[in-house]
């Protein structure tokens, strides 16, 4: 079968590898659509594992079912989790499924930028989601990123009446904007250094947009009724954005570190200024639980979250390199989807 083999962001090659064979408790998926995630272009995170086939936002059709698999059948349209938790460990039992050791070790094979993927037994048991007829394969690739957004906003207790500052208006930022509006935020303000993405932020529900190059606490106060933000969601790893966030969070507020930074980035904190008497929370979020994937797919199916209009580019497998270039540049693109069968 054909795969897009990743060597670095400027070197993604169309190669041939053996089609996966499944055992009695596994299933085989023909991948119809696979989204490129921002984390796919973090070379510092991948460089020790290359070459490899990336792609964890998949949707496709079941074309092979092991004899011991009873719940699924050939022909069903599904999306699937790349990583799944055990559901039994200390972390899972305390609501932190995404830091479960099992989740960090599990994966389907070889990756979504391939014509076919094999789902191991634990993924079959805990990470398969049926796509309803009204959801396209392309739209279903948003299940995983939206699930991550759901989890993040749940962790920071996003609720009605909070003002939200979303820093970075790429795909995760736009999903956070929509979820914050769905959760009845009093105001959503978005930043980015790119005008195309700022316009997209406005299109997908931001009440105010500010170019990050011109951002200041004074601009925030003007946009937010003379108050700092109750919740700041960092959808960019830029150190300057982190520093801006620390100056922009209101008393009793929270900063959510959603995006990764470059390797080795460190920040300094004025503990008294930021924390003492202010009850500010700094929180991170990673991945999502199977339940959050199910909820995300329902939101997509219902139309409450608009994902269709976020797709700016589609490529066949042979042009995966073009997709990686667009995502790495982070300019005039939002979501790039690869069609492995084309």
| SS3 at position 231 | strand
- In 3D space, the residue among 39, 30, 76, 80 whose CA is nearest the CA of residue 293 turns out to be 80
Domain final residue pick, 263, 284, 305: 284
* 172 and 214, same domain (yes or no): yes
* 47 and 121, same domain (yes or no): yes
Name, in order, each residue with C-beta under 8 angstroms of 226's C-beta and a sequence gap of 6 or more.
Answer: none
* 259 and 334, same domain (yes or no): no
Cα separation, 119 vs 27, in Å, equals 5
Per-residue pLDDT of the chain (342 residues; tens, 9 = 90+): 999 999 999 999 999 999 999 999 999 999 999 999 999 999 999 999 999 999 999 999 999 999 999 999 999 999 999 999 999 999 999 999 999 999 999 999 999 999 999 999 999 999 999 999 999 999 999 999 999 999 999 999 999 999 999 999 999 999 999 999 999 999 999 999 999 999 999 999 999 999 999 999 999 999 999 999 999 999 999 999 999 999 999 999 999 999 999 999 999 888 888 888 999 999 999 999 999 999 999 999 999 999 999 999 999 999 999 999 999 999 999 999 999 999
* 319 and 213, same domain (yes or no): no
* 31 and 104, same domain (yes or no): yes
User: Count of domains in the chain?
Assistant: 2
* 48 and 127, same domain (yes or no): yes
Domain CATH number, residue 49: 3.90.180.10
Is residue 57 a contact partner of residue 141, using CB atoms and an 8 Å limit? yes
* 135 and 237, same domain (yes or no): no
Domain region containing 259: 157-284
* 133 and 195, same domain (yes or no): no
With respect to residue 152, please indicate whether it lies within any of the assigned structural domains. no
* 17 and 119, same domain (yes or no): yes
Domain CATH number, residue 227: 3.40.50.720
Which DSSP state fits 114?
B
* 6 and 125, same domain (yes or no): yes
């Amino acid at each position: 079968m054909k795969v897009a083999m990743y060597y670095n962001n400027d070197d993604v090659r169309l190669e041939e590898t053996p089609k996966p064979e499944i055992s009695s408790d596994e299933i085989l998926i023909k991948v119809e659509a696979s989204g490129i995630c921002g984390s796919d272009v973090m070379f510092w995170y991948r460089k020790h594992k290359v070459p490899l086939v990336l792609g964890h936002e998949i949707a496709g059709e079941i074309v092979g079912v092991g004899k011991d698999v009873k719940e699924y059948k050939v022909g069903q349209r599904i999306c699937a989790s790349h990583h799944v938790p055990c559901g039994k460990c200390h972390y899972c039992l305390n609501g932190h499924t995404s830091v479960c050791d099992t989740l960090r070790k599990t994966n389907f094979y070889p990756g979504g930028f391939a014509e076919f993927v094999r789902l191991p037994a634990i993924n079959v048991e805990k990470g398969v989601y049926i796509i309803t007829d009204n959801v396209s394969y392309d739209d279903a690739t948003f299940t995983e990123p939206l699930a991550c957004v759901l989890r993040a906003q749940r962790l920071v207790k996003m609720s009605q009446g909070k003002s939200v500052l979303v820093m970075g208006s790429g795909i995760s930022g736009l999903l956070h904007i929509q979820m914050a509006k769905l959760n009845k935020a009093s105001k959503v303000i978005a930043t980015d250094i790119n005008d195309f993405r700022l316009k997209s932020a406005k299109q997908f529900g931001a009440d105010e947009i500010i170019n990050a190059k011109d951002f200041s606490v004074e601009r925030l106060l003007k946009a937010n009724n003379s108050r700092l933000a109750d919740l700041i969601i960092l959808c960019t790893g830029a150190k300057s954005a982190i520093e801006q966030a620390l100056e922009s969070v209101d008393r009793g507020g929270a900063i959510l570190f959603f995006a990764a930074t470059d390797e080795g980035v460190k920040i300094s904190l004025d503990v008294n200024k930021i924390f003492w008497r202010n009850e500010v929370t700094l929180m991170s979020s990673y991945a999502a639980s199977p339940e959050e994937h199910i909820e995300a797919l329902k939101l997509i199916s219902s139309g409450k979250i608009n994902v269709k209009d976020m797709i700016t580019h589609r490529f066949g497998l042979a042009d995966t390199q073009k997709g990686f270039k667009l995502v790495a540049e982070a300019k005039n693109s939002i979501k790039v989807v690869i069609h492995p069968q084309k």
